[in-house]
Amino acid sequence: MTRREWMAAAAAAGLAPRVRAAAVPSSPVALARCPAYDGGVLTSLRRMFDQIGGIGRLVSGKTVAVKINMTGSLRARTGYRAAWNTRWSHPVVIGAAVHLIGEAGARRIRVVEGSSEDDHPLEEDFLIGGWDPADVLGAASNVEMENTGFLGNGKEYKRLEVAGGGLIYSAFDVNHSYAECDAMVSIAKLKEHELAGLSLTLKNMVGIAPGTVYGDSAGYDQPAARPYGARTMFHIGNRQPPEGTPPEKNPNSPREFGYRVPRIAIDLVRARPVDLAIIDGIETQTGASGAAVDEGVKRQMRLVAPGVLVASRNPVCADAAAAAVMGFDPMAARGRAPFESCDSTLELAEQAGIGTRDLKGIEVLGARIADVRMPFRQG
């Protein structure tokens, strides 16, 4: 009996190592050393997908949405380093994932990201970022891209209800791509985040909320035509979305970002569950957007090359393992790194029943966490 089989049997029999781990789902996490954005990425991801049980049943004959991360300005770099190597999902990782999803029989693959600054086709935003989208579009057959920061190719926004009723919002209006897909893949970068502690596959899903509805350009009577600006209403709750869009459940709840952003991330994941989580930790920057802003937080902005990839069918398990790779305790509550100034997204996700964050209940396959750990904090 393998460890994975034992754990599944133990969970079914109520014999899992901890009550917490038995109470919420757990999926194996594959970890791989991958030092560079080259052909080794495809080889590694292929092996990792096998390790987590394969993706054939998940994607075969299905429409698959691949949510990548292209946060922040398209025309900004950290120093001279391209955003692909610092804060965005790298196209080589995206291309490898798309290739394998196609190989596993996906009927259609749509690579999606919501721009916060324009209504361009996503292909154009790739070019602005300095990468030829053909590399991704040609990685499998029937691959397309869509900028989901606005209506895009849809005629109307689609409403996604939050399972369980939601923590902040009960439903979201989103680009049609998120309602049309049968399977959802979240490809994140390995990095910290000043508003959510971690910016991994759970936080990546905040990007499915269109800027035209939830961004600074959103109208009050109706969504804007074009997205622009941050999702400030998510951060500080300064306003409600446009009329006709489901408002917050409780407008008297705390307006503090550290309370809101982690909860909204969880709401979005419960509205559009993540079926496959992939984290690009080959090259990155330690912080998503600048150094620490809060007193007592030792978050730094450094360019690092952990040389690691993470994959799991469960985004909480993937993010928990990735947090450990970054040198953090995924069981940390608010007040402890990386959650000094916000509630723990991992804890909220666990409480919501999405998945366990307890490494004792997560089977890690491939590389050992201890062998690939690269602490993001120094000193």
Partner 1 sequence: MPELIPFRWPASWTDAAKLDLLKGTAINCIAGEAPPPFPLGDLPFVKLDADHPPEGIALRDGVWPQVLAPTRKDAAGGGATGGPWVDSNASVVRLAKVMEPGKMVWLTYTPPGGKDVVPMDSFVKPITEAEAFGGHWVIALDAFMAEQVAKREEKALSQWQRMMAGLRFTAARRDRRAWEPVAPLAVASTFAGDDKLLSEEFLNLAPRRHLAYRALRAADVAGASFAKQKAVLYLENTPPEGAVRAKLLEFAQAGGLLIAPLGTVDSPPEERRMEHTVRRAGKGRIAMPLEKWEDPFTLVDQVHVLVSHREDPVQVWNGSDMDLFYVTSPKEDQAVTHLIPYASGSTLPITLSYRKAWRRARVVTLNGATAAQPVQGQLGMEIAVPEFTDYAVVELEA
Give which of 234, 321, 223 is closest to 278, Cα–Cα: 321
User: Which residues have C-beta within 8 Å of that of residue 10, sequence separation ≥ 6?
Assistant: 16, 17
Q: What is the DSSP letter of 64?
A: E
Residues within window 169-208 making contact with partner 1, judged by CB under 8 A: none
Measured from the CB atom, is 136 or 369 closer to partner 1? 136
Residue choice 18, 57, 75, 255 for contact with partner 1 (CB under 8 A): 75
Residue 300, amino acid: Q
Which strands form 183-189's sheet, in the order they lie side by side? 143-147, 108-113, 63-67, 183-189, 276-281, 308-312, 29-33, 364-366
Largest CA distance in the chain: 59
Going by DSSP bridges, is the β-strand pair 183-189/143-147 parallel, antiparallel, or unpaired?
Answer: unpaired
Residue 132 sits in the site that holds partner 1 (CB under 8 A): yes
Measured from the CB atom, is 119 or 144 closer to partner 1? 119
Helix (H) or strand (E) holding 63: strand 63-67
Q: State in angstroms the smallest separation of the CB of 204 from partner 1.
A: 23
Measured from the CB atom, is 229 or 251 closer to partner 1? 229
Residue 229 sits in the site that holds partner 1 (CB under 8 A): yes
Measured from the CB atom, is 10 or 127 closer to partner 1? 127
Residue 43 sits in the site that holds partner 1 (CB under 8 A): no
Residue choice 121, 154, 246, 327 for contact with partner 1 (CB under 8 A): 121
Q: State in angstroms the smallest separation of the CB of 12 from partner 1.
A: 48
3-state secondary structure of 172: strand
Measured from the CB atom, is 115 or 344 closer to partner 1? 115
Site string for partner 1, 356-375 (x = CB under 8 A): --------------------
Residue choice 23, 47, 60, 118 for contact with partner 1 (CB under 8 A): 118
Residue 73 sits in the site that holds partner 1 (CB under 8 A): yes
Q: State in angstroms the smallest separation of the CB of 143 from partner 1.
A: 18
C-alpha count within 13 angstroms, C-beta hemisphere, residue 11: 18
Q: What is the distance between the alpha carbons of residues 192 and 367, in angstroms, rounded to a whole number? A: 22
Residue choice 20, 47, 120, 377 for contact with partner 1 (CB under 8 A): 120
Q: State in angstroms the smallest separation of the CB of 253 from partner 1.
A: 23
Q: Are 15 and 6 in contact (CB under 8 A)?
A: no
Residue 82 sits in the site that holds partner 1 (CB under 8 A): yes
Q: State in angstroms the smallest separation of the CB of 285 from partner 1.
A: 14
The 10 Å CB-count burial string (b at 16+, else e) for 230-252 is: ebebbbebeeebbeebbebeeee
Residue choice 1, 2, 19, 79 for contact with partner 1 (CB under 8 A): 79
Residue choice 33, 77, 176, 239 for contact with partner 1 (CB under 8 A): 77
Residue 228 sits in the site that holds partner 1 (CB under 8 A): yes
Q: What is the distance between the alpha carbons of residues 349 and 251, in angstroms, rounded to a whole number? A: 22
* Residue ranges in the chain assigned as alpha helix (H): 3-12, 19-23, 39-51, 56-59, 91-103, 122-129, 134-137, 176-180, 211-214, 232-236, 257-271, 315-325, 345-351, 369-372
Q: Name the burial class of residue 296, with classes exposed (0-12), middle (13-18) and buried (19+) by CB atoms within 10 angstroms of its CB.
A: exposed
Residue 127 sits in the site that holds partner 1 (CB under 8 A): yes
Residue choice 76, 291, 305, 333 for contact with partner 1 (CB under 8 A): 76
- Where do contacts with partner 1 occur on this chain (CB under 8 A)? 73, 75-77, 79-80, 82, 117-121, 124, 127-128, 130-132, 216-217, 226, 228-229
